[in-house]
Chain A
Amino acid sequence: MIKAIQASKSEKVLFVFLIALVFFTFSSFFLLKNKCLFVEKVNLNKINFTDPENVVVMNIECGDVIIELYPELSPQSVKRFKTLIENKKYDGSVFYKVAENTFVQAGDIEFGNIEYLDYSKIGSGKSGLGTLKSEIDEDFKFSEGSVGLARSTKFDTEDSEFFITLKEIPIYQGEYTPIGKVIHGLDILGKIKTGNKGVYVLRPDYINSFRIFKSN
């Protein structure tokens, strides 16, 4: 006759521990893969802006980033930015230049769209609207969430590319045209894919849509 073997107390504990370990391993695998999991979502319907015409909403993978524009600081640059938004030129634009926790850059309309990405020319694309004169404000400090127009090494070469700072960058003061500031969604921008040790990103994240708040 075979006697039923009863598990000892320590065996039972070990069994429960193993089950728990398998459970945590699988759940962490699926949870960690979702980079947007802990990002706070904003309900746009619940927000009232005093100047909604100068508030823009950029939708990216992890949610909406809300930016307030500064037309009084850089009228021509903000006008250009809004024109490109209204014409949906930024939809599909990739964040091809990203420095971790430092800045993200997008807006190459010609060579930096997810549908027609050209790595050999990215960063040199034109909007077709011509270049703009730099609208530098020597006193403007690029703090966390500041939005500026990118340029080549020379001034007065701004066009469509823009960047958002993810930390205070004192050296940008007096160097770039400021166009606005992120008022919601900095954590969302922090989730944008970076380029390992490089500043350029392969298979980059991109802008799903970019709209002016009033027409959102």
Chain B
Amino acid sequence: MKILFLIFIIFQITHINADEIYNLLKIPNLEIYKFKTDNNIRFLNSKKNFKIGVNNNISCNKSYPQNLDNKFPIIQKNINFYNSDFLNKINLRYVVLCEDLFISEINTGGIPDTEKRTLILDINFNTKYFERMIHHEIFHMIQKSHVEIFDENHFSSFNDVNFNYAECSTCSDRLNLDLYDVTNGFLTEYSKSIVSEDMAEIFSFMMTDKIKLKKLIKKDKILEKKVIFIKSAISKIDNNVL
């Protein structure tokens, strides 16, 4: 049995790609896309498809140069909203650019990983929500790096007493990212999935469409409380972000 186990381990480890980026981030097939930036973010792109995670449940395809060159200015513009000090505080240093990102066979725009200080972004993600998605995923890094500031129970208490979030973000059918005409405390259908997604949706609008959000909170008291909560929490980390 022990020999079988050893053979299994040997088989597994000999198929890992041997390069310096893999050694650091544990993501294979990456290369440097842009290394020197004002806020010290290092952009990497996937030169081949890769699979990572438990049972290889995360997959993403190679990024084609033309797609990459088209999307990169948008990505960099949005990442540049954050200074290097703030990015350090939220454990973000590497942005991995690839196409058609899936987690457990569900298409997703981004996957944040604060431990490896990496954000994987799908450059093919729906253009309509693309910029907002970047900030949405960054919020998850903010929250994970500063759990103590984002009291989910307190945030949930702003909702109507009869409202319940779903058990998890992927186990509900509340996935639409379009802005509601009538908000009633929630900006999008996806906001209703779980607390952290609700927070992330608010933050993403704060970063991409402040004016619209200002108008909305004038008519929506629940949303106003939520916006104040997020603003106050973010200011505890950095005053210059919002």
Residues of A within 8 A of B (CB): 97-100, 102-103, 119-120, 153-154, 165, 169-172, 174-175, 194-200, 202
Contacts and interface: CB of A to CB of B under 8 A. Distances in A.
B20 A169 contact: yes
Contact of A99 (B15, B19, B40): B19
A199 B5 contact: no
Contact of B18 (A100, A119, A172, A174): A100
A171 B18 contact: no
A172 B19 CA distance: 12
Nearest to B10: A202
B14 A102 contact: no
Interface stretch (B22-30, B53-61, B97-105, B217-225): B22-30
Contact of B20 (A102, A120, A195): A102
A102 B19 CA distance: 7
A163 to B, nearest CB: 8
Contacts of B42: 171
Given A98-B18, A200-B16, 8 more contacts: A97-B23, A100-B18, A103-B20, A119-B6, A197-B17, A198-B14, A198-B18, A199-B22
A103 B23 contact: yes
13 contacts: A99-B20, A100-B18, A103-B20, A171-B20, A172-B20, A195-B14, A195-B18, A198-B14, A198-B15, A198-B16, A198-B18, A200-B14, A202-B10
Interface residues of B, number: 23
Nearest to A138: B40
A100 B18 CA distance: 8
A215 to B, nearest CB: 33
A170 B26 CA distance: 17
Contacts of A171: 20-21, 24, 32, 35, 42
Given A102-B18, A120-B6, A200 B13 contact: yes
Nearest to A105: B23
B9 interface: yes
Interface string B191-207: 00000000000000000
B14 A170 contact: no
Contact of B16 (A98, A103, A170, A199): A199
B116 interface: yes
Contacts of A120: 5-6, 9
Contacts of A99: 18-20, 23
Contact of A170 (B18, B32, B115): B32
B23 A197 contact: no
Contacts of B17: 197, 199
A153 B21 CA distance: 12
Which 10 A-B pairs have CB atoms at the shortest separation, nearest pair first? A198-B14, A199-B18, A99-B18, A200-B13, A169-B20, A198-B16, A153-B115, A153-B116, A102-B20, A198-B13
B24 A170 contact: no
Interface in B68-91: none
Contacts of A170: 32, 35
Contacts of B26: 153
| Residue in B9, B15, B22, B23 whose Cβ sees the most chain A Cβ within 10 Å | B23
Contacts of B9: 119-120
Contacts of B32: 170-171
Contacts of B23: 97, 99, 103, 199
Nearest to A166: B20
A98 B16 CA distance: 12
Contacts of A119: 6, 9-10
Given A120-B6, A171-B42, A197-B15, A154 B20 contact: no
Nearest to B31: A171
Nearest to B42: A171
A98 B13 CA distance: 12
A195 B15 CA distance: 10
